[in-house]
Amino acid sequence: MGERYLRWRTVSRANRTRAERKSPEERSAEIQDAARSIALSGGLTAITLRSVAAQAGVTPALVAHYQPSMESLVASTFTAVVRTELADVASLLGPFPTATERLAHLIDTLQDGSRDDLTLVWVDAWSLGRRSDLLASAVRTQMDAWEALITDVLVEGCDAGEFSTGDPDTVAWQLLGMIDGLNAQSLVHYRDAPSRGRLIARAIEHELGLSPGALTAAAAAPRR
């Protein structure tokens, strides 16, 4: 029994020594990656000291050492997840040659039902942000970034004569609000994804002076 205990102590000490060899930067990145994984699988509300520690394979005390504020970790996790989403969508839109096609595929991509994990992150952020100024500020910053992406597409369409609106900023805000609202509804399976996409497309077609069905047709057309 004594020999077995000594062997266990030796292995345990060796494991701790190996863990301690990670640099502070590596350990911090490991914890942040764990938080992002948790957010995408269970939302921001699932990020706790214990859940992050378990995901990263470290102790809660070590998480607290590198992330003394869970409020800060939640806010930075939200920002990291949403920045990645925005970059992915911007990259997806890049190859389309016209603003109409880019706008159509933007709506289709954000309403096709494949991003429920990201929608949950957003919904949790709006809810938790009521009691966290840090998170609320992060949410507003990322909403501004999304609105800027949409506005750029609308301005390009106006400059090319594809769209007709004197206020692309307001139309972008309207579109963002519709996308956010209908995506939130999708979490409880209210209506189906194609219906939600068509509802948004019809409203925005009207705002931009497009013929009915123009955005739906553009989304369905093969990429050139």
Query: How many Å is the maximal CA-CA distance in the chain?
Result: 84
Q: Is 148 helix (H, G, I), strand (E, B) or coil?
A: helix
Euclidean distance between CA atoms 169 and 144, whole angstroms:
11
**Which residue, 42, 40, 41, 60, is CA-closest to 50?**
60
pLDDT tens sequence across 163-186: 999 999 999 999 999 999 999 999
Question: For residue 131, what pLDDT is reported?
Answer: 96
* 1-68 and 69-224, same CATH topology: no
Sequence ranges of the domains in the chain: 1-68, 69-224
Q: Are 78 and 142 in contact (CB under 8 A)?
A: yes
Determine whether 23 is exposed, middle or buried from the number of CB atoms within 10 Å of its CB (0-12, 13-18, 19+).
Answer: exposed
Q: How far is residue 5's CA from residue 188's CA, in Å, rounded to a whole number? A: 53
pLDDT digits (tens, 9 = 90+) for 2-51: 555 445 455 445 444 444 567 888 899 999 999 999 999 999 999 999 99
Q: Which 3 state secondary structure label does DSSP give 209?
A: coil
Q: What is the pLDDT of residues 194-221, one digit of tens each?
A: 899 999 999 999 999 999 999 999 988 7
Q: Are 111 and 183 in contact (CB under 8 A)?
A: yes
pLDDT per residue over 74-114, tens digit each? 999 999 999 999 999 999 999 999 999 999 999 999 988 88
pLDDT of residue 175: 97
Confidence category of residue 224, pLDDT binned at 50, 70, 90:
low
Q: To the nearest 5 percent, what fractions of the chain are helix, strand and coil?
A: 80, 0, 20
- CA-atom Rg of the chain in angstroms: 23
69-224 is classed CATH 1.10.357.10: yes
pLDDT of residue 113: 80
Residues in the chain: 224
pLDDT digits (tens, 9 = 90+) for 111-163: 888 889 999 999 999 999 999 999 999 999 999 999 999 999 999 999 999 99
CATH of 1-68, picked from 2.30.30, 3.30.300, 1.10.10, 3.90.1070, is 1.10.10
pLDDT of residue 8: 46
Amino acid letter, 182: L
Give the model's pLDDT for residue 220: 84
Q: Sign of the C-alpha dihedral, residues 95, 84, 115, 155?
A: negative
